[in-house]
Structure 1
C-alpha cells in the first residue's frame, strides 16, 4: 500500500510547479546536465570505437600482425619454417619477405624509403594491400624485372608516373669503417597505391626474387603472418618464434603501430572518468533540488506523518521524485547520443564543408574522416550508470524529509 502511495506522490511532485522558480530552474538544469553528459559520453566513445575499428579494418589490413626476421643471413630451410609458422592454431596465413632500406633517386630528387620485397602469390593471405593499388597490381610483378610499386605521395614527391625508371641506392658494407659508394639498382615503377597516413610515404614493394639477387641471399630472411586475434599478436608472435631454431627478431604490429591503439584506449578511459564526473555534478543538482523541495513541502510531510505515513514512505516519495529527473535525463541523453553517434561522420563532413577545412588529415592519420561505431551495450551501461548516480543523489534529501517532526511544523506542543 505504501509503495504505490510513494510512487503516486513522488511523480505528482515531479510534475507539479514549484512555488520557488529557482527550484524549477535547478530541476531542469539537473535533467539537462545529465542528458548532456550522457550524450557526450556516448558520442565520444562511439568515435573512439570507430577509430579502433578503422585501425583493425584499414591499417592492420596492410601491416602484418606478426613478423619474424633472421638477425643475419636468411632462413636455412624456408619451407620448413613456413610450415612451422602455419602449424600454430592462431595463425591464419604466412608469407616470406625481405626488408630493404635505401634511397630512391629520380634525377636530382631523393627519398628515403623502406622496401618490402614480397612473394605476390602468398602476400594476399597476410595483407590486403593489393586492394589499395590504384594503378597496376601484383600480377605485373615478375621476378628478375626489377619492378617497384610505390605510394602515390612518394611518386608525386619524386615526380614519377607509372612506367618511369628510377634508381635505388643501397648502402654497401665496408671494412674498417671506410666509406664506400652505395650500390645503385635501376628500377621500373609499375604501380601506385594509396592507403592513407604515413604508410603511403614510408613503404614500397618489389619482388622477392629481385631482392634476393640484389642482396645475395639464398632465401627470404623474414616471415610475415596474420593471426585470428589481433590484440594477442604480441604473445602469438613469441609463441611462433620460439618454435623456430634461427636467431631472429620477433615483432608484431603492437611494436610498430601499437601506440595508436594505446592512445585510443587511454582517451576512452579518460573520457569515461571526466564525463562521468560531469554527470555526477549534474546529479548534485538533484540534491539541491530535493533539499529545497523538502523545505517547500515540510507542511505536507508533517500532515502525511500524522496520517500514519512511515519514514520509508516519505523517503520513497523524494527518491521517486529525484529518480524521475535522472530517468528523464538519462533517456534523453541516450537517445540524443545514439542519434548523433549514428550520424557523426555525416555531421562532421557537413561541418568540414561549412568551414572549408579538414579536421583529420589523411597525410597524418590513416583515415581522413571521423569514424563512429555505436555500441548498444555501452549506451545501456552509460544510461544505467547515470540513473543509478541520480538515485544515489536522492538519499540524503530523502533522509532529511523523514526526520521532519510534525509537532514542530504544525505548531503543536507536547
Structure 2
C-alpha cells in the first residue's frame, strides 16, 4: 500500500518523475517492438514453409552421372522409411528457353503429376487445367511468372527448349531442341519464379536418358537432413543427398539469425529502460529518507522497507510491460495491413517478390512469445529494484531524524 502511494505521489524533484515516466515508456516500447518483430519473423518462417516448401521437396536423391537403372525400386525403398510420407521420380534438366531472339536459362523439372502432388503442393500455384494437362505426354510446359515476364510469354505461346546433348561420345554434338506450348504460369515468389519450369515426365524421357532423381516428403521438415542421409544410404544407390536445408536453408537461417539478434538487441533496450528504474528509486530513496526513518521508529523492519521500494519500482515495469503487450499485440495482428498502408502512403513497393519470396510483411502472433517477453521484462524490472530497495533498508533513523 505504501509503495503504491509513493508511486502516485508527486515528487519534490520533477526530474525523478521524468526519469520514472521515461523508464515506463522505454519498457513499453521495447516490449511492443519486440512482440512486433518476433511476430514478423514467425510470419516469414510460416510463409517459408507454406510457399517455398510447397514447391521444394523436403529431400531429394540425385544420380551423379547416369540415370537410375530401376527408379521404381528406389521409390519403394525410400517409402519404406517410417518418416517418409511419399516419394516421386523426376528428371532435372538445365537448358535454355528461346522465343525469337530472346533466351533464358531455366531449370526444367519433369514430373509425374499424380505422384508429385503427394510430395509437393506446386499444383496449388498454377491453374488446375494446366496441372491436368501435364498428366499427358504432350509437348507442353508450365513456366514461372518471372520467366514469362522476361521472355514476354503468355499462355498459348510457342517456345523452344534447348538442351545439351548428353551422348556418351566425346564429339561435339548439336543440342537437342523441343518445340513446346506454354499451357500455364505459376507464381510462388522469389527466384523460383525466375528459373523453374515443369514438363511431363514421359516427354522428358524422350529427350534425356531417364529418371535421375527421386524427391520425397517427410513427417518432420526440420529433421529433413538426418532423414535424407538415412534414406540415401538405404537406397543402395550412388546418389547426391539434397535436403531442402541445403538448397533453401539460407533463407531459414537468415530468419532465425535476425530473430535471435532482435531478441538480444531489443532486450538490451528493455534493460536500459530498467536501469532508469534504478535511477528513479535511488533518487526517491534519498528524497524519502526522513519518511523511512519515521517508519523504522514505528517498528517497520528492513524487509518491509525493501518491499515498499520494490513495489514502487516494479509498478513501472509491470505497467510498461502490460502497455507494451497491448500495443505490440494490436500492431502485430494488423501488421500486414499497416505495412500495406505505409506502401500506399510512400507510393512504392518496399518488398519485391523478385528478391524476397513474398512482397508483403507476414505476421504470426504466438502467445508463448508474448508471455516470455512480458515475463522477462517484468523480471528485469524486479532485478533493477533490488539494489535501491536494499539501500533504503540501510537508512539509519537516528542519523536522519537528528538532522531533521
TM-score where L is the length of structure 1 = 0.94
Change (3 A) 1:118 1:174: closer
Given the alignment of the two structures, is residue 69 of structure 1 paired with residue 62 of structure 2, yes or no? yes
2:187 counterpart of 1:208: no
**The one of 376, 382, 392 aligned to 2:373:** 382
Distance in 1 of aligned mates of 2:45 and 2:137: 40
Give the ranges of 4+ consecutive aligned residues of structure 1 lying more than 6 Å apart after TM superposition.
174-177
Aligned 8 A contact 1:290 1:318 in 2: yes
Q: Which moved more, 1:141-150 or 1:10-19?
A: 141-150
1:357 Cα deviation after fit: 1.1
- For 2:239, the equivalent position in structure 1 comes to 248
Cα displacement (A) at 1:376: 0.7
Structure 1 segments unaligned to the other structure (5+ residues): 1-7
Size of the alignment, in residue pairs?
A: 404
Show CA shifts across 1:343-400 (max 9, x none): 1111111111111111211111111110000011111111111101011111111111
Does residue 110 (structure 1) correspond to residue 103 (structure 2)? The answer is yes
User: Which residue number in structure 2 is paired with residue 49 of structure 1?
Assistant: 42
The residue number in structure 1 matching 2:143 is: 150
User: Which residue, out of 1, 7, 29, partners 1:14?
Assistant: 7
| Distance change (3 Å), C-alpha of 1:404 and 1:165 | same
Q: Is the 8 A contact 1:311 1:402 kept in 2?
A: yes
Paired residues of 1:197 and 1:365 also in contact (CA < 8 A): yes
Q: CA deviation at 1:136?
A: 3.9
Aligned equivalent of 1:366: 357
Structure 1 Cα separation of the partners of residues 5 and 347 of structure 2: 51
Distance in structure 2 (CA, Å) of the matches to 1:212 and 1:225:
20
Q: Equivalent of 1:323, from 290, 314, 320?
A: 314
1:276 aligns with 2:267: yes
CA distance in 2, matches of 1:15, 1:74: 79
| CA deviations over 1:109-156 (Å, ceiling 9, x no partner) | 100000000001111111111111148422112554221111122122
Cα distance, 1:216 vs. partner?
Answer: 3.0
Which stretch shows the higher mean deviation, 170-179 or 266-275? 170-179
Q: Secondary structure at the residue paired with 1:137? A: helix
Write the mapping of 1:79-228 to structure 2, written as runs, cut at 5 A: 79-134=72-127, 136-173=129-166, 179-217=172-210, 220-228=211-219
CA gap of 1:142–1:36, structure 2 versus 1, over 3 A, is: closer
- Normalising by structure 2, we get a TM-score of 0.97
SS in 2 for 1:225: strand
**1:149–1:191 contact (8 Å) kept in structure 2:** yes
1:19 Cα deviation from its structure 2 partner = 1.0
What 5-or-longer segments of structure 2 have no aligned partner? Answer: none
Once the 2 structures are TM-superposed, how far is the Cα of residue 102 of structure 1 from its aligned partner? Answer: 0.5
- Displacement of 1:176 after TM fit? 8.9
Query: Aligned-pair RMSD on alpha carbons?
Result: 1.6
In structure 1, what is the equivalent of residue 292 of structure 2? 301
Q: Contact 2:146/2:195 (CA < 8 Å) preserved in 1?
A: no
- TM-superposition CA deviations, 1:214-271 (whole Å, max 9, x none): 1133xx2211111111111111111111111110001011011000110011011111
Q: Which residue of 1 aligns with 2:394?
A: 403
- Answer yes or no: is the 8 Å Cα contact 1:149–1:190 preserved in 2: yes
- What secondary structure does 1:43 align onto? helix
CA shift in 2, pair 1:84/1:174, >3 Å? closer
1:279 shift after superposition: 0.3
Distance 1:344 1:108, change over 3 A: same
Report if the CA contact (8 A) 2:113-2:135 is conserved. no
The separation in 1 between residues aligned to 2:142 and 2:128, in whole angstroms, is 9
CA distance in 2, matches of 1:152, 1:410: 82
